[in-house]
Structure 1
Amino acid sequence: MSDASPATEDRLDWARARGVGALAEKMGFEWVEFTPERAVATMPVEGNTQPVGLMHGGAYVVLGESLGSMHANLHAGAGRLAVGIDINATHTRSATSGRVTGVCTPIHLGRSLTVHEIAVTDDQGRRCSTVRITNMIRDLPE
Structure 2
Amino acid sequence: MSTECAGMIECRPGARLWGPDDEDSGWQGAIDLFLLNNGNAYTALACLFGVRNSFGFRPLAEGRGFPGDASEALRADYAAYDGSPDTHGTTWVTWAELASADWRETDGSGARSRESVAGERSGWGPVWTVMRTLGQLHGAEHVRLVVWFF
Report the TM-score when normalising by structure 1: 0.25
More strand by share: 1
TM-score normalised by the chain length of structure 2? 0.24
Greater relative CO (CA pairs within 8 A, separation 6+): 2
Task: Judging by fraction of residues, say which structure has more helix.
Answer: 2
